[in-house]
């Protein structure tokens, strides 16, 4: 599903993900001490802690790209919510692709200030994108599941 009605702030979010996939962190899109939440990292603030989180992600993933053309945006009261998918390869060589494998779907809530800078970024996803954590799947017969 392609989003054609995304507003200005959704465009900023899309630009953030495109740059991120190219290995670039666009610090100018954020306030200096922005807040972020990422599963298995927790709460962080600012560029230095964000880079620590990225280093942690790179330790378990070789490559991640997002499906920008399929993003779904909701904008309201200074927030942009984006739902989407990603694909990539873990350091173990196992690939994933959102909507085709158990991992790879995400939802992130961005909060903007009046100057259109990002104050917070809260990421919601299962960091086990390759499905390696078999013991905690709700069903053991995953062959019958739709992803």
Give the residue extent of every domain in the chain.
Answer: 8-126
At 71-90, the pLDDT tens digits run 999 999 999 999 999 999 98
Q: Strands 105-112, 95-97: parallel, antiparallel or unpaired by DSSP?
A: unpaired
Spatial separation of the C-alpha atoms in residues 6 and 22, rounded to whole Å = 22
- 8-126 CATH choice from 3.30.420.140, 3.40.50.720, 3.40.50.11390, 3.10.450.50: 3.10.450.50
Higher-confidence residue: 86 or 61?
Answer: 86
Helix (H) or strand (E) holding 75: strand 72-76
């Amino acid at each position: 599903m392609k989003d054609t009605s995304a507003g200005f702030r959704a465009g900023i979010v899309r630009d953030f993900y495109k740059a991120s996939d190219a290995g670039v962190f666009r610090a100018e899109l954020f306030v200096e001490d922005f807040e972020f939440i990422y599963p298995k990292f927790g709460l962080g603030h600012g560029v230095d802690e964000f880079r620590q989180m990225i280093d942690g992600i790179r330790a378990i993933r070789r490559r991640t790209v997002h499906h920008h053309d399929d993003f779904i945006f909701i904008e309201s009261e200074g927030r942009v919510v984006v739902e989407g998918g990603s694909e990539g390869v873990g350091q173990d060589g196992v690939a994933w692709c959102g909507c085709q494998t158990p991992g790879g779907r995400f939802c992130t809530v961005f909060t903007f200030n009046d100057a259109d800078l990002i104050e917070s970024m809260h990421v919601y996803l299962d960091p086990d994108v390759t499905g390696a954590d078999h013991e905690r799947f709700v069903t053991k017969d995953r062959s019958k599941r739709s992803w």
